[in-house]
Amino acid sequence: MTSAHPFAGVAGLRGLRSAPALEAEQCRRLREELLSLLAPCGWFTVGIMAPSPTAALAALRSLESALGWSALEPAEEADGAADAGTAAGPVFLKGNQRSGQFLLRREDGLGEGILITGHEADDPAAADTWGPFPLDLFR
């Protein structure tokens, strides 16, 4: 069994290539801390690095459900995005609450995890990017 990452909160994740393995209590505390950071933000973008399209979409849907976000819809396919939803292998999903859409593209060489960026026009100091969080943090 993989040992859990030493818990240093959200700040301890910054700069990691992939999300660490965390125990249930670490995940609970991380979610609690993250919610306080997200609270002053008006909208969010999310980046999900996952081993497959299925894993990326599952992480997105659990994130949306846990945080009460409206479900993002697939965007029009762009360069390199064709068939990404059915192709085997690692993917990057980029979602934007403001547009209500996400784009899924096949991409090798990434780590694994969820990155969340909070945006707030009235308080730019509240804006930041947090993660990478484990793909199952919000399940």
Q: What is the pLDDT of residue 88?
A: 78
Q: What is the mean pLDDT of residues 87-111?
A: 93
Domain positions in the chain are 42-133
Average pLDDT, the chain: 89
Q: What is the DSSP string of 78-138?
A: -TTTTTTTT--S-EEEEEETTTTEEEEEE-SS---EEEEEEE-TT-GGG-EEEEEEPTTTT
How far is Cα 63 from Cα 139, in angstroms, rounded to an integer? 8
How far is Cα 13 from Cα 17, in angstroms, rounded to an integer? 9
How far is Cα 134 from Cα 23, in angstroms, rounded to an integer? 11
> Which parts of 8-87 fold into alpha helices (H)?
24-38, 53-67
- pTM to 2 decimal places: 0.88
pLDDT confidence tier of residue 76, bands split at 50, 70 and 90: confident
Is the confidence at residue 66, as pLDDT, over 90? yes
Domain 42-133 carries which CATH code? 3.30.360.10
